[in-house]
Structure formats: structure tokens, C-alpha cells
Amino acid sequence: MNGSSPTEPLDQETTPEALIERFGRDLVNDFDLDDPVFNDRFDETLNFMAHKCPVVHSKVGKGYYMINTQDDVRAAAQDWQTFSSAKGYMPNRPDGLPYLMPEESDPPIHTRWRRVLNPHLSPKVCAGYEQVVRDDANALIDKFIDRGECEFISEFGALLPGWAFFKNVLGLPIDDLAMLVNGVEEGTFALDLAERARNFGEVFEYLDKHLQWRSTQPQRGDLIDTILAGVTYDDGTESPWEHKVSILVDLTFGGIATTTFVMGSAIHHLATNPDQRQLLIDNPELVENAIEEYARFFPPVVALGRTATADVEVAGTSIKEGEFVMLTYACASRDPRHMDEPEKIDLSREGIPHSTFGVGPHRCIGSNLARIELIATLEEWLKRIPEYRVKPGGEPTYVTGFLRSMRTLQLEW
């Protein structure tokens, strides 16, 4: 809809009638991230919007806009003064849900926190975790390799990221991982907004108690000690306890809720494309580039929200002060204006311009660790189980909202 409003379709493909016939709803004027059709026809919808719909609108709840082109997403993500994170990244946020620091804050508060947190997840620090992550990957594979089959998500994909983050970064007991994974999943995807809030509340309560316990223990010089030390805000006040708890919740959320989807999707893609699997086995130097392409094509973060602080126009669409705007990273990563054939996976693609880890000051703090987890998974899996396939009837199942999650994937070899 270049240069037009959401109610003035660009061509016959984007008329309300054509969209309803094809997608079951008017994507341009009545989009819904939680629509089951979006979940089932995810790639088709993303590809269509990336080509045809620079901005779409949703009437769900209080309503929201979605910005879809790479240039506009990057510009908005960089312009935190106009597109603020301080009122949250979830559309139609459940009442009473605390904001997650530093994700749901703006500079200078965001800058203060990221300055002290970033060193704990720097490329150099994360590189030191590589062997532990590889050892954990092999320990998980050991549990099912002789069985000749596995349910990949519950037996590997949902475990390795949590193990990597809990053991190496947070020092949380991995025995509690399943409870936290469930809390994060249900807090994100439960159809009942009250149920989402209840699950998030349980995650907050658990991590609050853990932080309280750590405050009584000798210092370890780790990330949690840095959180406990807090920061001083520009007005001279010290960061309150609730901000410290929300920092830990935010990091835990990011550490266990996103990498699993890219991991499962890459493994599934290789299961169903043996030629590409053999390409990586024969050319292991391509693995790192493949990870970037898989991250581009299988976006765990569909879109994150901002609130307009002033009237603004994006791609000809007028957005009023106070309205909610989603930055659709998933569409931006398929923008045909920035790459050839974005709807295809190309493991040799050069200079992959994806937005999977976000853009601007709120770019994902855990991206360095995520890359190590993904590289270790592909390399160790292909060494140990080079020939595998999807078990009959075991195709992946998904759930989609502002995040996308793979729930199950049955493999055999």
C-alpha cells in the first residue's frame, strides 16, 4: 500500500474481497496475530505482506498497526523517541502484567541496564560456553540415539537453550526448566488473556524468590550479581527491586522462548531436504551462514510492539499519538526490496539482511549465545545422526502470536 492508507488497497490482490477469499479475513484492515489461519498459513501470509502490505491494521482489542518493510522497521526501531518501548511490546497487554526491564523501557533507563548486562553475553564470553553447550547437546542425543527416534522439541529443542542459559549464565537449577518453559509458553500463547497473566505471574514469583535467595548468598561475580547490584538512573534514584526481578524475567524469557523455534525448524528443514543436509555434511564451513539463513526464514519473534509518542506517517499510513505499532521483524526479513527470492531458503545466500534478533538499541542481548547453541546443534546432530527423517504422522505442530513456537516434531532414523 505504498503511498496509500490502509483502506486504499494497492491492487486487486489487496482488496478486502480478495483477501477474505484467500486468507479468510482482510489482512490489510483487520489483521490478527492470533488467528489460527495465520498459524496454519504462516509463510504464505508473511510472503504476501512482505510484497504487498507495507502497513496493516488490526481491530483486535484496542487495535494495533503492523509495519512490514525492512526499511520502515529499521527506521522505527532506531527511532525510540517516536516509537517507545516503555508501554510494552505485547498488543492488548493483559491488565496487571508488570513491564519487563530493560526490554520495555527506553533510553536512558534502557541504556543504563544494557551497559552493565551486555558484558555478560559478549561474543568473547559466550565463546567460552561453546564446549559446555556441545557437551550438553551430545548428552541429550545420548538419551535417545539408540532408540532410533525422538520427539525433538521436548527431548532436545526445548532443553538445550535452557540448559545453556541456566547453567552458564544465570546459575538457575535446570530441574525447574520445564516449569518455566511452560509458564513462558502459556504466558505468551494462552487464548485467555487472564490465563496468560496467571502464568506470567508464576514465572515472576519463582524468579523473585530466586533473586531474594541469591541476595543472601556470597557473590559469584555473575549476571545475577550484576542484576542485584542494580543501576543508578539519571535522576539519581537507585533501580527498585521490581525492576531487578523483571530484568531476570526478561532474560529468562528470551533465553528459553525463542532459540528453540529456529533450532526445531532447521532440523525439520534438513530432515525434509536431504540434499541440503548432505551439503552441510560435506561443507561444514557453510554451517555458520546456514544459521543466519535459518534465523532469517524461521523467525521466532514475529513482531514486537511500540507506542507512538506523536502523530507519524509510515508508508503513507497515518498513525496517531498513543496508538500501538508492531514492528514485524518476520516480514522485514523477507523484504524483496533487499534480497532475491526471499521466500526461498538459500544456504549460500551472502550478506543475509535479517531482523530476527531485532534492530536498534533493543537488539537481542542473547544473540551471541543463540548462535553458539544453533551451530552446536547442527554440527553435533549431523555428526551423530546424519540420516534421519520425519516420522510418519509426526510433522511439526505450531502455535503463533507475536511469537511463533514449534510444539512437537517427531523424528526417526
User: For residue 10, is pLDDT > 60?
Assistant: no
CB 89 within 8 A of CB 305: yes
User: For residue 2, is pLDDT > 70?
Assistant: no
User: Cell 539519571 belongs to which residue?
Assistant: 234
User: Which has the minimum average pLDDT: 85-99, 178-192, 311-325, 380-394?
Assistant: 178-192
Per-residue pLDDT tens over the stretch 179-196: 887 887 777 777 777 788
Per-residue pLDDT tens over the stretch 62-121: 999 999 999 999 999 999 999 999 999 999 987 777 888 999 999 999 999 999 999 999
Nearest partner of 297 among 267, 265, 258, judged by Cα: 265
DSSP conformation class of 336: T
Please identify, in words, the CATH class of the domain defined by 12-412: mainly alpha
* Mean pLDDT calculated for residue range 242-247: 94
Three-state SS letters, 120-132:
HHCHHHHHCCHHH
Q: Cα separation of 319 and 383, whole Å?
A: 51
Per-residue pLDDT tens over the stretch 331-373: 999 999 999 999 999 998 988 888 888 888 999 999 999 999 9
Per-residue pLDDT tens over the stretch 269-287: 999 999 999 999 999 999 9
Strands 324-327 and 304-308: antiparallel
* Mean pLDDT calculated for residue range 379-386: 98
CB 137 within 8 A of CB 162: no
**Greatest mean pLDDT range, 160-169, 198-207, 232-241:** 232-241
Nearest partner of 152 among 39, 52, 265, 66, judged by Cα: 265
* Calculated CA dihedral for residues 69, 99, 182, 160, nearest 10 degrees: 70
Q: What is the CB neighbour count within 10 angstroms for residue 57?
A: 21
Nearest partner of 386 among 133, 145, 132, judged by Cα: 145
Domain edges within the chain = 12-412
Q: Cα separation of 183 and 198, whole Å?
A: 9
User: For residue 263, is pLDDT > 60?
Assistant: yes
Helix (H) or strand (E) holding 375: helix 367-384
Provide the mean pLDDT of the chain.
92
Beta bridge partners of 411: 150, 390
Q: Cα separation of 92 and 104, whole Å?
A: 15
